């Protein structure tokens, strides 16, 4: 529950203090300046953004953050400062220290590994490192979908162009960040994945898609990340939106975007952070004072101002003026204040803020993180094509033959050894990531020759022979290039975002044509093109026969590239998103060996598979709280058979299916596949085996997707895209008329009160309730359930009645003792929690269960259902449960329960077909 104004620290009654908590600001320089000290001490600034401009090393960062927190503590701040950082990995890191801070692949690079488990590990390692120096808020992950992938400036900062895959990897990253103890901030809402740049320095990028189009693609990862429940903040972009239903100049200043779309439609309850308001277009149009007031009016809780002190002071005075003018209400200020304080409470404390572990922790974990970094990069490098089998070069190029490396002139990445070296020599200056975007420095290609020098040296070392290396520019193919191409037997061309730097495309095509002509004269001219940023440079251009992608050009990525080129490691990466799927289309009828599930052999691997799914699924609950034991009932009335697809060498499970047969009903109770192994027919192979088993049962009358006991999946999980149901459509099920089952929850049972008038309505209807335990009184209950529900529900009730100490059944009866309805009630200690994910706690709190209400349809059925639920809640409260989980209610029955304070947790579609209607 949020604190009311009266429960807040009295200090916050001073609006100057409250306003200070609504701002996040930065500055230039690696030391605390009088200006930033003034903001913290006198203007009560509650949040700081650090950029590469502020950070020289891990040790300096820890010292700087500790000094900032000490200033805040001594100035009387009730809670520590939020310390925010862009640390997206790949080319977008603010903090670099080769001795203590590890480099990891970009978001798209991680997606290229195909492993959400690796995405989780990388995110957790990244967050652990920045947390050690005092950072408590990571501005990530990037939730954007590249719906126009080839021409977007986000490039490899995004996962790719497939919204579901982006969701899986982003949720895995969020879980990694959170498990390392830092707060998370998704970005860039509503999407930077398909924006048009209009050209002038004052123009903002524009989204032209309709809300319907955005909802089908761009908004999917945002919606899924919010549903997963671990996203603390959302960064709202500064782009414009122009479509039939919306004409917005700056998204972060629009209540249509923040309050209506983000909060009301997508249900986001966390902290909304605006794009930096120092954008020239915004300053010219509204001024900083007006823009700041508009940002708060729109629904933002934190307003970002990156660096200019005079602009920051103007924003503070603008907020105060907005309050004085009555534009911003006191309640609006306190709504944001409560959200910010709630986020601070979960990611920091004074004990933590004033005592960052610093180098002591970083030196301890560095070797482990280095190994993870190398593993991630090695698995991300992708050989898209190698039509002429040029790789590895150790087999296609003789040592005495010459190799030519042609590289573009690119600006060093902000956090890299090259940048550090150039800074120390005074040859460049760091550029903040927010500054780069907000101030429209769009050019990725800059002068600077040193970026690929170490790549050339590494290739020379590994081949133990000569390497020719020179750069190319927008001046095109020069005589020096032609002379070197004539000498070399193999040429490697490096490109970096060629789609946005078209001279690279032209140069590469020219070299490819020249090589083709020279090959026609009998000369050996092998050509390898390496894209070190966007993989879309030549992904679709089949004239480039050998095409390799690294997804960034950090030193670690280049080291992995060299190992791939020379065969030290086998390339395992694949193009992310739809290109990965299209590459797998030819394999979609692949047959996989399906084996019987062996508890002793497979239970540990099944547990690992469930963990992987929990880190990459939305909602994650069915996987998060389920273990290998959850699928085995050992019930004499239920026949069960489970199957796996596994790697017999590594013992890894790629997929699992659970089948059950009880009294004429054959059910698939679970079917899931490792996200990294999807779209290659593992699911189809498992489904085929499961159907063959069920269809062979004597007396089978009905086939069913979903089962209420065990209740891991009461049906097919309902997702916005409908992809789950469409998959079952494609394998032969008729999914047109499902039975909707809804899991519901009361999150804060201590604060719950019964709806006014409910008890009186029950009394007037002469409905009474009692609670029974054990099998002695069970016959009437089991007969009632057998009449109005399936045989698996009967087994669920039978199990609950045998759990005499931890569960029982509430009966609803009329004045003449006729049974009107039943529901199972259980405590947190019940063995039912093994089979019901909704009852299993992830944070240690006790959850009481209200399970499988069976109420026949009558004029009084809504009141009976509410009465059973009320009795369940009362029992749960009596057993000191923190929450009440109701699993499940059918069809529209969740609506009267929502009126009682239950919230929808997850919905499923139970699908039934006749045995004749589904192919095996």
The per-residue pLDDT for range 728-744, each reduced to its tens digit, is: 988 899 998 999 999 99
Q: Which two tokens stand for residue 120?
A: 């989780």
CA 259, CA 239: separation in Å to the nearest integer?
Answer: 16
DSSP string, 716-766: EEP-TT-HHHHHHHHTT---SSPEEEEEEEES-GGG--PPTTHHHHHHHTT
Q: Which of 443, 436, 447, 494 is closest to 469 using CA atoms?
A: 494
Q: Which two tokens stand for residue 508?
A: 């590469």
Q: Give the N- to C-terminal CA distance of the chain in Å, as an integer.
A: 50
Question: CB 522: neighbour CB atoms within 10 A?
Answer: 6
- Is residue 553 a contact partner of residue 533, using CB atoms and an 8 Å limit? yes
Q: What b/e readout covers 478-516, taking b as 16+ CB neighbours within 10 angstroms?
A: eeebeebbeebbbbbbbbbbbbbbeebbebbbebbebbe
Which residues are CB-neighbours of 367 under 8 A, at least 6 positions away? Answer: none
CA 869, CA 319: separation in Å to the nearest integer?
Answer: 47
Helix (H, G, I), strand (E, B) or coil at 172: helix
Which residues are CB-neighbours of 29 under 8 A, at least 6 positions away? Answer: 53, 54
Question: CB 327: neighbour CB atoms within 10 A?
Answer: 15
CA 15, CA 346: separation in Å to the nearest integer?
Answer: 24
Q: Which two tokens stand for residue 158?
A: 């995004």
Q: What are phi and psi of 769, to 5 degrees?
A: -135, 145
Q: Where are the alpha helices (DSSP H) in 488-525?
A: 502-520
CA 743, CA 914: separation in Å to the nearest integer?
Answer: 26
Helix (H, G, I), strand (E, B) or coil at 810: strand
CA 349, CA 79: separation in Å to the nearest integer?
Answer: 7
Q: What are phi and psi of 4, to 5 degrees?
A: -80, 170
Q: Which two tokens stand for residue 207?
A: 């989204």
- Is residue 356 a contact partner of residue 66, using CB atoms and an 8 Å limit? yes
Q: What is the structure's pLDDT at 721?
A: 63
Which residues are CB-neighbours of 511 under 8 A, at least 6 positions away? Answer: 406, 477, 481, 485, 491, 493, 527
| Intervals of the chain under pLDDT 50 | 1-6, 198-202, 427-448, 585-588
Q: What are phi and psi of 211, to 5 degrees?
A: -60, -35
- Residue indicated by tokens 């986001």: 268
Q: Which of 525, 548, 534 is closest to 502 using CA atoms?
A: 534
DSSP string, 345-404: HHH--HHHHHS--HHHHHHHHHHHHHHHHHHHHHHH-EEEEETT---SHHHHS-TTS-EE
Helix (H, G, I), strand (E, B) or coil at 240: strand
Which residues are CB-neighbours of 351 under 8 A, at least 6 positions away? Answer: none
Q: What is the structure's pLDDT at 441?
A: 30
The helix or strand, by DSSP H or E, that contains position 236, with its residue range, turns out to be strand 233-236
- Is residue 249 a contact partner of residue 283, using CB atoms and an 8 Å limit? no
Measured between alpha carbons, how far is residue 762 from residues 758, 815, 895 in Å? 6, 12, 18
Q: No. of H helices and E strands in the chain?
A: 30, 32
Q: What is the structure's pLDDT at 201?
A: 38
CA 539, CA 146: separation in Å to the nearest integer?
Answer: 15
Question: CB 306: neighbour CB atoms within 10 A?
Answer: 25
Q: What are phi and psi of 464, to 5 degrees?
A: 55, 45
Measured between alpha carbons, how far is residue 411 from residues 150, 277, 521 in Å? 21, 26, 38
CA 225, CA 123: separation in Å to the nearest integer?
Answer: 15
Which residues are CB-neighbours of 520 under 8 A, at least 6 positions away? Answer: none
| Most distant CA pair in the chain, distance | 103
Q: Which two tokens stand for residue 28?
A: 């230039």
Q: Which of 197, 115, 193, 114 is closest to 155 using CA atoms?
A: 193
Q: Which of 184, 542, 214 is closest to 384 using CA atoms?
A: 542
Q: What is the structure's pLDDT at 445?
A: 32
CA 875, CA 307: separation in Å to the nearest integer?
Answer: 56
CA 34, CA 15: separation in Å to the nearest integer?
Answer: 23
CA 726, CA 271: separation in Å to the nearest integer?
Answer: 35
CA 655, CA 373: separation in Å to the nearest integer?
Answer: 27
- What is the bridge-based pairing of β-strands 23-25 and 716-717? unpaired
DSSP 282: H
Q: Which of 223, 225, 232, 172 is closest to 614 using CA atoms?
A: 172
- Is residue 775 a contact partner of residue 801, using CB atoms and an 8 Å limit? yes
- Is residue 374 a contact partner of residue 568, using CB atoms and an 8 Å limit? no
DSSP 599: H
The sign of the torsion formed by the CA atoms of 138, 45, 240, 534 equals negative
Length of the chain: 920
pTM of the complete model: 0.76
Angle at which helices 555-565 and 453-463 pack, to 10 degrees? 30
Which residues are CB-neighbours of 892 under 8 A, at least 6 positions away? Answer: 740
* 233-236: strand order across its sheet: 271-274, 233-236, 183-189, 137-138, 82-85, 47-50, 23-25, 303-305
Peptide bond into 635 cis (omega under 30): no
CA 789, CA 795: separation in Å to the nearest integer?
Answer: 11
Helix (H, G, I), strand (E, B) or coil at 792: helix
- Is residue 307 a contact partner of residue 435, using CB atoms and an 8 Å limit? yes
Measured between alpha carbons, how far is residue 359 from residues 54, 63, 207, 366, 372 in Å? 18, 11, 44, 10, 19
Question: CB 843: neighbour CB atoms within 10 A?
Answer: 7
The sign of the torsion formed by the CA atoms of 4, 10, 13, 15 equals negative
- Is residue 548 a contact partner of residue 531, using CB atoms and an 8 Å limit? yes
């Amino acid at each position: 529950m949020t604190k009311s104004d009266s429960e807040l620290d009295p200090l916050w009654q001073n609006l100057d203090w409250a306003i200070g908590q609504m701002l996040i600001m930065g500055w230039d320089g690696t030391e605390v300046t009088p200006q930033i000290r003034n903001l913290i001490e006198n203007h009560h600034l509650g949040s700081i953004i650090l950029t590469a401009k502020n950070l020289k090393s891990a040790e300096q960062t820890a010292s700087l953050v500790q000094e900032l927190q000490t200033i805040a503590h001594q100035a009387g701040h009730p809670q520590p400062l939020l310390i925010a950082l862009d640390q997206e990995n790949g080319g977008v890191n603010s903090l670099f220290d080769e001795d203590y801070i590890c480099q990891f692949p970009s978001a798209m690079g991680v997606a290229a590994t195909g492993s959400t488990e690796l995405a989780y590990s990388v995110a957790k390692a990244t967050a652990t490192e920045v947390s050690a120096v005092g950072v408590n808020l990571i501005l990530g992950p990037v939730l954007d979908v590249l719906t126009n992938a080839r021409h977007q400036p986000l490039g490899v900062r995004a996962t790719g162009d497939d919204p579901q895959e982006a969701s899986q990897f982003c949720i895995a990253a969020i879980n990694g960040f959170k498990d390392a103890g830092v707060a998370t901030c998704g970005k860039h809402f509503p999407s930077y994945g398909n924006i048009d740049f209009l050209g002038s320095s004052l123009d903002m990028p524009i989204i032209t898609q309709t809300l319907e189009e955005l909802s089908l693609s761009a908004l999917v990862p945002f919606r899924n990340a919010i549903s997963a429940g671990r996203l603390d903040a959302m960064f709202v972009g500064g782009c414009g939106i122009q479509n039939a239903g919306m004409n917005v100049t700056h998204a972060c200043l629009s209540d249509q975007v923040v309050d209506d779309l983000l909060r009301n439609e997508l249900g986001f309850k966390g902290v909304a952070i605006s794009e930096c308001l120092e954008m020239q277009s915004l300053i010219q149009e509204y001024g900083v004072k007006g823009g700041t007031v508009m940002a708060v009016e729109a629904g933002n809780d934190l307003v970002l101002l990156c660096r200019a002190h005079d602009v920051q002071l103007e924003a503070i005075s603008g907020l105060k003026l907005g309050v004085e003018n009555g534009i911003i209400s006191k309640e609006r200020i306190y709504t944001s204040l409560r959200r910010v304080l709630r986020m601070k409470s979960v990611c920091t404390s004074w004990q933590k803020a004033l005592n960052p572990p610093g180098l002591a922790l970083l030196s301890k974990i560095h070797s482990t993180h280095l190994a993870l970094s190398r593993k991630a990069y090695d698995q991300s490098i992708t050989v898209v094509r190698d039509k002429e089998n040029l790789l590895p070069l150790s087999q296609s190029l003789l040592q005495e033959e010459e190799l030519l490396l042609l590289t573009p002139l690119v600006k060093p990445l902000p956090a890299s050894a090259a940048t550090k070296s150039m800074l120390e020599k005074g040859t460049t200056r760091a550029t903040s990531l927010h500054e780069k975007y907000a101030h429209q420095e769009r050019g990725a290609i800059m002068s600077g020759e040193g970026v690929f020098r170490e790549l050339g040296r590494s290739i020379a070392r590994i081949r133990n022979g000569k390497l020719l290396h020179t750069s190319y520019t927008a001046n095109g193919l020069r005589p020096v290039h032609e002379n070197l191409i004539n000498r070399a037997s193999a040429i490697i061309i490096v490109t970096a975002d060629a789609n946005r730097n078209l001279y690279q495309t032209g140069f590469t095509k020219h070299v490819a044509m020249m090589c083709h002509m020279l090959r026609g004269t009998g000369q050996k001219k092998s050509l390898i093109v390496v894209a070190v940023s966007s993989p879309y440079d030549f992904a679709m251009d089949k004239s480039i026969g050998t095409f390799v992608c690294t997804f960034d050009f950090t030193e670690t990525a280049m080291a992995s590239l060299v190992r791939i080129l020379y065969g030290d490691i086998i390339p395992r990466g694949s193009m992310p998103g739809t290109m990965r799927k299209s590459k797998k289309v030819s394999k979609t009828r692949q047959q996989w060996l399906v084996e019987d599930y062996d508890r002793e052999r497979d239970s540990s691997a099944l547990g690992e598979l469930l963990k992987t799914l929990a880190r990459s699924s939305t909602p994650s609950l069915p996987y998060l709280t389920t273990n290998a034991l959850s699928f085995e009932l050992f019930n004499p009335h239920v026949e069960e058979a489970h199957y796996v697809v596994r790697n017999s060498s590594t013992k890894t499970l790629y997929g699992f299916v659970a089948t059950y047969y009880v009294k004429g009903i054959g059910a698939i109770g679970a079917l899931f596949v490792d996200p990294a192994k999807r779209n290659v027919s593992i699911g189809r192979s498992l489904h085929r085996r499961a159907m063959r088993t069920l269809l062979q049962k004597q007396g089978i009358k009905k086939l069913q997707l979903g089962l209420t006991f065990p209740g891991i999946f009461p049906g097919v999980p309902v997702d916005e895209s409908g992809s789950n149901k469409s998959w079952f459509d494609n394998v032969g099920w008729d999914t047109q008329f499902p039975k909707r089952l809804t899991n519901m929850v009361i999150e804060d049972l201590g604060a719950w009160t019964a709806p006014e008038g409910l008890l009186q309505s029950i009394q007037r209807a002469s409905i009474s309730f009692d609670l029974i335990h054990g099998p002695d009184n069970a016959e009437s209950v089991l007969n009632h359930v057998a009449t109005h529900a399936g045989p698996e529900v009967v087994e669920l009730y039978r199990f609950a009645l045998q759990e005499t100490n931890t569960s029982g059944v509430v009966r609803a009866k009329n004045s003449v003792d006729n049974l009107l309805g039943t529901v199972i009630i259980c405590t947190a200690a019940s063995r039912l929690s093994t089979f019901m994910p909704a009852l299993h706690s992830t944070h240690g709190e006790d959850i009481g269960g209200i399970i499988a209400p069976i109420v026949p349809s009558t004029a009084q059925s809504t009141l009976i259902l509410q009465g059973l639920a009320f009795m369940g809640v009362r029992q749960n409260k009596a057993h000191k449960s923190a929450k009440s989980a109701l699993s499940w209610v059918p069809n529209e029955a969740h609506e009267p329960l929502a009126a009682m304070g239950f919230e929808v947790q997850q919905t499923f579609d139970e699908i039934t077909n006749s045995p004749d209607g589904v192919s095996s």
